[in-house]
Amino acid sequence: MPWQTLLNRRERLPANHDLGEGYATLLQQLGSVTPFELAVAGGRLMATPGLAFLMGYQAALRMLWPSAPLSLGAMCATEQRSLRVADMQTRLQDLRLTGRKDFVTAGDAADWLLIAARSEQQGEAPRLSLAVVYAGEPGVRVEPLPAIALMPDISHGRVHLDQAQCELLAGDGWDAYVKPFRTLEDTCVLSAMTAWLYGVGQDSNWPQHLQLRLLALLAGCAEVSRQAPGSPSGHVLLGGLFAQFEALKTEVNQALAEGPSLWATMWQRDQAVMDLAAMARAKRLAKALVQI
């Protein structure tokens, strides 16, 4: 991570309601960056916590699939609020996908979609594959969903697949993709949201010791981003970073309350996104602490 660039960066990109166009504008400004740099530099440049979250989400996708297209993408795994392989109904057969994914972050704005689909033969245990399809191709339809209270500037979609032709990614869909993606997303979203807060702190002249602690948290995120997502030690380090983030909440909220109301209002509305996967993280941490 070119830390000097982050320390000296003071600009912020205006919010763009067209998420794909806004993302393309960001990439033009950043140039060639690593996924972690995308999360941190992108998060710092965003106008809202929701857009910073989107940068972390895109960074995680690129850590998962390094050859991903440059355009906006989305992971499509959850069905009926479940990630259990046995609960999924979307099917892959002869490089054709049929099924539905119910809640896809930025799905209606994404150019490409990673689809987790059942691929076992009849009588075999449930098995996942991961395939990629492209928006607008035959058999691929994305239904926009109403905005929700949390991060209302980030759209969601329901993906309908009807014998859609796809490209298959190598490896087991669960072990190589869906399972590690949750850890990568936690790491990258924490990085992006911390960078957004650091930028607000710069703009609002927060106390120096708080800005320095946010920078230290980002330095820890850089180290965790280099760990394999299935590594027990990596999960323990990530648990430590979230503990640090939690410990900063009171001080961050106080600093926000003393500054421009716009930042405080947005953060109060959207900060709960950091707690959505808390239970899954706690389970991974408990398991990792036994293994190390």
Instruction: Tell me the CA distances in angstroms from 128 to 89, 93, 98, 141, one per residue in order.
Output: 11, 12, 14, 22
Of 140, 168, 196, the residue that ends a domain is 168
244 and 119 inside one domain: no
147 and 268 inside one domain: no
180 and 287 inside one domain: yes
pLDDT band at 1 (very low <50, low <70, confident <90, very high): low
**CA separation for the pair 11, 5 (Å, rounded):** 11
Instruction: Extract the tokens encoding 34.
Output: 């690593």
Mean pLDDT over 119-143 rounds to: 96
Do the beta carbons of residue 232 and residue 288 sit within 8 Å?
yes
Do the beta carbons of residue 102 and residue 132 sit within 8 Å?
no
Q: How many domains does the chain have?
A: 2
CATH of the domain at 118: 2.40.110.10
Residue 133, domain extent = 73-168
Mean pLDDT of the chain: 96
Of 142, 168, 194, the residue that ends a domain is 168
DSSP string, 135-193: TTSTTEEEEE----SSSTTS-EEEEEEEEEE-EEPSS-TIIIIIHHHHHHHHHHHHHHH
The predicted pLDDT at position 8 comes to 81
233 and 96 inside one domain: no
The predicted pLDDT at position 5 comes to 79
SS3 97: strand
24 and 58 inside one domain: yes
**CA separation for the pair 62, 77 (Å, rounded):** 16
15-72: pLDDT as tens digits: 999 999 999 999 999 999 999 999 999 999 999 999 999 999 999 999 999 999 999 9
Mean pLDDT over 273-289 rounds to: 95
